[in-house]
Structure 1
């Protein structure tokens, strides 16, 4: 069976989200034993070396990107650095599934941002769905109510960073290798964490065998997630690919329960359900309008 570009991109996105979520769980398991920035640096060094080797084996190191691609790669790397700090701070402070539920708003934010910055058509129905989805995010966070954590807002900040990261990925030319883009992001995050460790004057500790296993496993997963995410956003249509991020919520619920003894409360699940439902509706409208536009019908 020959898969379309959209279907291949969707599978890559599902793989990416699974890999990212496993990485999150492994990092959270290692977090109690290691300083914050040290953990990011160690993982970053392993990822950077691994991606460098892959890029060399694939013959991508000699590629010379255009000025536009260099600028977009730099923007994407900065967004990755921004989102990493806020995401991991939130991850180490609130349940994995709660944070994953907040991140399920990404298909909505990416669709909205693509309309604002790229002029992609988004009709009133999808705008309404996006608004309802943001209500679902508010229910998950519950500001001013019992169960509210300021670290949930860190998760929202991470969503903003990842949204810009994905939009930058979308604008990259088809010729730049995904491994080069991922390598730039990994190197940038590593350098940022190293500077952060120096500024915060962290006292690094020796890693145990278990720490090495956890961080090494996280590094492998993050490498797979990096490359798959870049490829998915470049290969498929944003409106089709983005909703497949919901894979991460299922994986987060499972890993949170099995490995971390965490389970979100009813309000969080309710809010996540709203976000997922509205995201799926945006996908439905995207596909329906894609079928209508060749006939000249108005996009709504």
Structure 2
């Protein structure tokens, strides 16, 4: 039997990552309003932060001390993570799982747009068309002016904006900064944010069902973080990254099986458009990086021949 290639392992790890995060979201949705959202985030944050701290220590992430610029960017990233957790989970508890998940698939497009606007990164006409197409897909999902467009839809869109800010801040961090240190700082900030928020709310006791769901979302977050670290170490990122869209397939399946949520045809069409445009953007960025590397190698070779 042939050994699985690095890209094959990366693909499976990415599928597992998205499954873990989506099942974790499903646990939060199943908890619903039985527990305050702040309580859910604190309890889950304790488990996740302890595990990430252990993993960071095992990987030697604490040996690197961030410079002031990186520390400021980590703070900004953590605050964006707080916003994304609040807005997304608020939306998730009040709208179909697939709809909320589909809107998050806008991220490759919004990050590309943000990089062009704020960092001046060049974006060709093909990716501009993909971004425009992705936003048309988003409009098919939210359908402004219809009964389904409400405050929770806006929460989901604000979550997309917050995650975009988080990813843009991540792009500006120094390459030498360990990723686990960055992840831990954001996890702790979300936990502290939720702890402060929870002071104004009454914590609720956990029965067997709620305890099982809390344990489930906490363990699945840990599994998701573990697999996300592993996936970055295996395979070609350009090949593996598009499989993040399998999270939408998991969301469709879970929504249908657990809550009988069957997305409307316009929602499915919008999700398909977003996935297609996002996949093209990821593919195009991969092609441009490959061309850039080839040009650098060619330039280095020409310089060597001249000396």
Report the TM range for the smaller structure's normalisation.
0.7 to 0.9
Q: State the match for 2:105 in structure 1.
A: 104
SS of the equivalent of 2:20 reads helix
How many residues matched?
Answer: 292
Following the alignment from structure 2 to structure 1, what is the Cα–Cα distance between the partners of residues 239 and 82?
26
Following the alignment from structure 2 to structure 1, what is the Cα–Cα distance between the partners of residues 19 and 275?
17
Task: Give 1:235 deviation, angstroms.
Answer: 9.3
Following the alignment from structure 1 to structure 2, what is the Cα–Cα distance between the partners of residues 80 and 15?
22
Task: Give 1:115 deviation, angstroms.
Answer: 2.6
Report if aligned partners of 2:14, 2:231 keep a CA contact under 8 Å in 1. Answer: yes
Q: State the match for 1:26 in structure 2.
A: 27
Q: State the match for 1:218 in structure 2.
A: 217
Matches within 5 A, 1:100-139: 100-139=101-140
- Say whether 1:168 aligns with 2:169: yes
Report if aligned partners of 1:106, 1:242 keep a CA contact under 8 Å in 2. Answer: no
- TM-score normalised by the chain length of structure 1: 0.85
Cα–Cα, structure 1 residues 132 and 58, in superposed 2: closer, same or farther, change >3 Å?
closer
Deviates more, 1:34-43 or 1:279-288: 279-288
Task: Give 1:290 deviation, angstroms.
Answer: 4.3
- TM-score normalised by the chain length of structure 2: 0.83
Cα–Cα, structure 1 residues 236 and 82, in superposed 2: closer, same or farther, change >3 Å?
farther
Q: State the match for 1:276 in structure 2.
A: 275
**Which string of whole-angstrom CA distances, capped at 9 and with x for unpartnered residues, describes residues 143-188 of structure 1?**
1113223211111111111112122223333333332222211111
Report if aligned partners of 1:110, 1:166 keep a CA contact under 8 Å in 2. Answer: yes
Following the alignment from structure 2 to structure 1, what is the Cα–Cα distance between the partners of residues 224 and 99?
20
SS of the equivalent of 2:259 reads coil
Report if aligned partners of 1:172, 1:234 keep a CA contact under 8 Å in 2. Answer: no
Q: State the match for 1:52 in structure 2.
A: 53
Structure 2 stretches lacking a partner, 5+ long = 297-307
Task: Give 1:116 deviation, angstroms.
Answer: 2.8
Q: State the match for 2:257 in structure 1.
A: 258
Following the alignment from structure 1 to structure 2, what is the Cα–Cα distance between the partners of residues 238 and 114?
19
**Which string of whole-angstrom CA distances, capped at 9 and with x for unpartnered residues, describes residues 77-120 of structure 1?**
11100111100110000010010111111111112222333443
Q: State the match for 2:304 in structure 1.
A: none
Following the alignment from structure 1 to structure 2, what is the Cα–Cα distance between the partners of residues 166 and 233?
15
Report if aligned partners of 1:13, 1:232 keep a CA contact under 8 Å in 2. Answer: yes
Report if aligned partners of 1:169, 1:230 keep a CA contact under 8 Å in 2. Answer: no
Task: Give 1:21 deviation, angstroms.
Answer: 0.9
Superposition CA RMSD, Å: 2.9
Matches within 5 A, 1:1-300: 3=6, 13-198=14-199, 201-226=200-225, 229=228, 243-290=242-289, 292=291, 294=294
Larger Cα-atom Rg: 2
Cα–Cα, structure 1 residues 41 and 79, in superposed 2: closer, same or farther, change >3 Å?
same
Deviates more, 1:14-23 or 1:76-85: 14-23
Structure 1 stretches lacking a partner, 5+ long = none
